[in-house]
Structure 1
Amino acid sequence: MTVDRQRPIESRETADPLGRAMLAFQRGAPGRLRYRDGADTQDGRVEEFYFEPPKEWDDDWVALLSRLADREPTLDIGCGAGQHALWWQERDVDVTAIDASPGAVAAASERGVENPLEMDMFDLAFDRDRFGAVLCVGTQLGLGGSLAGISDLLAEFARVTDGGALAVVDNYDPTRLDDDFFGYRPDPRPGIAHRCFHFEFEREATDGDGSSDREIGPTLHFLLCSPDRLAEATIGTPWEVRSVHRDDGAYYRAVLDKRDSKPEA
């Protein structure tokens, strides 16, 4: 009989199921990562999201990474297992990789990322004007939870970047989403919605008794906003939306630059 050994509920705030999943995959002993929203689950797709080789990246994405490299030093926020930091390192770009997850930082380090740091993006421990570019993808900006919260995050990004800085962020546009989008929560405001779920990571226990370990993370709340709403969130910050890059669905990436920076030729 398989017995689940689940961490107690009070440990959820410090649990790291996503980081554990990355580290386990890196070490060749992957378990199963799930998104969970009530009774609904979705596969975490660790290899696809965090270990995809650059040859699989689309041309538009490579072009955006190259634009950030041109503004080095670059800050990779929420670096995960380090795939983008490694790509920059191979091209001698000055990059600093950070992640709030200790498991992700360990995985990135084992893959060869130079000195990745465990750090909260809401409280960046860097001097002013340290960087010329910021990458913050994986819809992490939505963890601001509100337009005001996103504005606060952008202000923090502005504090650690110079006057000519460039940033790339991403999100899902609610105006292009259906109600069956995983974790979807509606909002009466146009161009605004929410997404809530938590991560669960499960793998066979190392003691070999047939039991399994399961780690459950805290509930995550993401604000989903259209590009127009993102532009609203930049008001009062030094950033403005320079361009928006969409896929065929609701997902988009936005390029931001400082209002006091020179227009690109």
Structure 2
Amino acid sequence: MTADRPGPSESTAAADPLGRAMLAHHRDEPGRLVYRDGADVRDGNVAEFYFSSPESWTPATIDGLERLAEREPVIDVGCGAGKHLLWWDERGVEAVGVDVSPTAVRAARERGAEGVLAGDMFDLPVATGAVGAVHAVGTQVGLGRSLAGIRDLLREFARVTDEAGVAVVDNYGPTRLNDDFLGYRSDPREGIAHRCFHLEFEREADGEQRREVGRTLQFLLCSPGRLREATVGTPWTPARVSRTDEGGHYRLELRKERTAAGSSE
């Protein structure tokens, strides 16, 4: 079996490179995760993205987690290896995590995160009105692939939250991105672009190097103003936009009660 071609047991249909990378890192097993878009390859930075300690988090990140904790129970959508769940648990905050990757769920559970479920964020395995807050940070909303798809996702977030629910989502504003942004695809519409890439996890198995290749992921990139458009027809009202860096990344806080909307891009 060659190193650059997945074997029969490593088809993209059943592949879970990101989850396997998380579990391998937790177990201190060798392996390397990469993001790939054609010839453009970037390191997956598993330790930095999914296992960073609270001491390295920005004050804005801590503030956001604390604000959501005030509306517990919290659901962490795309919880990965559970770093935010562990932070809430240490502070006695009731939280549940959901991730589409069963292997990531296993990693989170092995790290001590309780109440972690495998599931699709478009059909969350949580009862209607069961939580007070949704944390969906990791640009997952872009996987809606269109404003209509994001709207469907926000409706699902609204379903699982109570009448005073809050949610925090994030994305990239296309006008602020650099030319080297991995997977960038332009769009003629103002404030809209796309991102495409897949993940690969390289590891040694049975004395051979193997590569597990995931399916191509397609994200919608949109400005805060465009993301606000996706809230139309949902119970959500945009409440607050916060910039996290100069590279276009931002977070949008949503509330079910009427609030004054923040500035748009």
Question: Is TM more than 0.5 here?
Answer: yes
The letter of the residue matching 1:17 is: P
Structure 1 residue 196 and structure 2 residue 193: aligned?
A: no
- 1:126 Cα shift? 1.9
SS of 1:222 mapped into structure 2? strand
The letter of the residue matching 2:124 is: L
For 1:84 and 1:37, locate their aligned partners in 2 and report how far apart those are by CA, in whole Å: 29
- 1:259 Cα shift? 3.5
Question: How high is the sequence identity, in percent, across the aligned residues?
Answer: 61
Q: Which moved more, 1:6-15 or 1:46-55?
A: 6-15
- 1:124 Cα shift? 1.1
For 2:10 and 2:29, locate their aligned partners in 1 and report how far apart those are by CA, in whole Å: 27
For 2:133 and 2:124, locate their aligned partners in 1 and report how far apart those are by CA, in whole Å: 14
For 1:112 and 1:6, locate their aligned partners in 2 and report how far apart those are by CA, in whole Å: 32
For 1:29 and 1:127, locate their aligned partners in 2 and report how far apart those are by CA, in whole Å: 37
Deviations 1:6-28 (A, max 9, x none): 23499312210000000000000
Structure 1 residue 145 and structure 2 residue 149: aligned?
A: no
Structure 1 residue 218 and structure 2 residue 215: aligned?
A: yes
Aligned counterpart, 1:131: 131
Aligned counterpart, 1:180: 180
The partner residue of 1:227 within 224, 232, 238 is 224
The letter of the residue matching 2:94 is: D
For 1:37 and 1:196, locate their aligned partners in 2 and report how far apart those are by CA, in whole Å: 7
For 1:36 and 1:116, locate their aligned partners in 2 and report how far apart those are by CA, in whole Å: 29
Aligned counterpart, 2:251: 253
Number of equivalenced pairs: 259
For 1:52 and 1:10, locate their aligned partners in 2 and report how far apart those are by CA, in whole Å: 29
Residues 189 and 9 of structure 1: is their aligned pair in 2 closer, same or farther, counting only changes over 3 Å?
farther
The letter of the residue matching 1:136 is: A
Residues 254 and 235 of structure 1: is their aligned pair in 2 closer, same or farther, counting only changes over 3 Å?
same
SS of 2:11 mapped into structure 1? helix
8 Å CA contact 1:7–1:216 kept in 2: the answer is no
- 1:214 Cα shift? 1.0
For 1:204 and 1:165, locate their aligned partners in 2 and report how far apart those are by CA, in whole Å: 45
Residues 158 and 99 of structure 1: is their aligned pair in 2 closer, same or farther, counting only changes over 3 Å?
same
8 Å CA contact 2:176–2:246 kept in 1: the answer is no
The letter of the residue matching 1:239 is: W
Structure 1 residue 15 and structure 2 residue 8: aligned?
A: no
SS of 2:66 mapped into structure 1? helix
- 1:185 Cα shift? 0.3
Structure 1 residue 244 and structure 2 residue 241: aligned?
A: yes
- 1:3 Cα shift? 4.0
Aligned counterpart, 1:6: 6
Residues 10 and 82 of structure 1: is their aligned pair in 2 closer, same or farther, counting only changes over 3 Å?
closer
Residues 30 and 165 of structure 1: is their aligned pair in 2 closer, same or farther, counting only changes over 3 Å?
farther
SS of 1:132 mapped into structure 2? strand
8 Å CA contact 1:165–1:261 kept in 2: the answer is no
For 1:172 and 1:223, locate their aligned partners in 2 and report how far apart those are by CA, in whole Å: 9
8 Å CA contact 1:164–1:261 kept in 2: the answer is no
Aligned counterpart, 1:24: 24
Unaligned stretches of 5+ in structure 1?
none
- 1:78 Cα shift? 0.5
The letter of the residue matching 1:240 is: T
For 1:244 and 1:262, locate their aligned partners in 2 and report how far apart those are by CA, in whole Å: 11
The letter of the residue matching 1:35 is: Y
- 1:179 Cα shift? 3.4
For 1:150 and 1:256, locate their aligned partners in 2 and report how far apart those are by CA, in whole Å: 13
The letter of the residue matching 2:229 is: E
- 1:241 Cα shift? 1.4
TM-score, normalised by the number of residues in structure 2: 0.94
The letter of the residue matching 1:254 is: L
The letter of the residue matching 2:222 is: C
For 2:53 and 2:45, locate their aligned partners in 1 and report how far apart those are by CA, in whole Å: 14
TM-score, normalised by the number of residues in structure 1: 0.94
Unaligned stretches of 5+ in structure 2?
none
Superposed CA RMSD in Å reads 1.8
Aligned counterpart, 1:63: 63
